[in-house]
Structure 1
Amino acid sequence: MKKIAYIAETKGEGIVECVWIASGSKGRSSVFDPRKHRFDPSKPSVFHGAEPRYIKSWLEKAQSSIQKF
């Protein structure tokens, strides 16, 4: 099973500003959009650019913000 890569863009202080997602065989990446993408912590994933806990927190907040509407 191929792992999904989550790549963080951060401010100088290490604060996650946005997360890119790379999946599929072509290795293309795009900015994580909670209307198009779904973060599932049970799926195999790799994290780059920041500590996994900070990236996961950002992804969960992005998903919860879209579910409020």
Structure 2
Amino acid sequence: MSSDDVPHRIVCRLDDLLADRGMTLTELANRTGITIVNLSVLKNNRGRAIRFTTMTTICDALHATPGDLFTID
């Protein structure tokens, strides 16, 4: 089994945070410079990894912490 096949229990709560803040994915993309495609991958829990700089940028834009953005299921 390759590392890509190993299931994980990390859940991205980006959709919830956007809804709580009344923000669209497009607005977040404009504020962060991260593409809508990359944000959508995270939002839909299809991401396999995230750079700390990307996480920091998202957290700054949403006034959130990594613990707000990700949970373990």
Q: Same fold (TM over 0.5)?
A: no
Which one has the largest radius of gyration? 2
Report the structure, 1 or 2, having the larger strand content: 1
| More helix per residue | 2
